[in-house]
Amino acid sequence: MQRKFPDALALLKESPQDVFHDDKPREFFEGAIHTFSKDKEKALAAFKRARPVAEKALREGPTDASRHVILGMILAGLGEKDAAIAEGRRAVQLLPESQDALDGPKTTVELAQIYAWTGETDQALQLIDRSLSTPNGVTVPFLALDPMWDPLRDDPRFQALIDRYATKA
């Protein structure tokens, strides 16, 4: 990943609104890009705009795990740790790996991202470790490149997981 966040932001702003789904508002992606760029003020403003959109989508589809995940990520971006984690856990309850081998692992990884964004490193790493050995789980290249994992990047345990599973690939 080239980490050209200003270019990503420009592309995002040029994108027509209809390419964004109700459960993943444009403002969420804007907040994430500003987070990756270390612009906390702009990230907070974008996440604040994204929140009512995500809350409305969740009211319209309360059993949709992805809507809980996106609200959880937005809440994590806003610094609302407990609420963010609760949304992520609810998503995993709605779509457990034991009942959906395709999308369940993805939801578990998204909970790990929420843990990472809220500073719950131990929980994030535990889920990542499990996911790396799960069919349809997270992959080493995804972990190594995706800026969503930047909060874990300086933790030697994160790099150790990447190194350990890279040799198994």
**pLDDT surpassing 70 at residue 45:** yes
The pLDDT tens digits of the residues spanning 5-20 come to 877 778 878 777 766 6
The Cα–Cα gap between 155 and 138 comes to: 18
pTM of the model: 0.92
The pLDDT tens digits of the residues spanning 109-145 come to 999 999 999 999 999 999 999 999 998 899 999 999 9
Look at 25 and 3; give whichever has higher pLDDT: 25
The pLDDT tens digits of the residues spanning 86-108 come to 999 999 999 999 999 999 999 99
Phi, psi values for residue 25, rounded to 5°: -70, 150
Q: What is the DSSP string of 19-77?
A: GS-TTS-HHHHHHHHHHHTT-HHHHHHHHHHHHHHHHHHHHH-TT-HHHHHHHHHHHHH
The CATH code belonging to domain 5-166 is 1.25.40
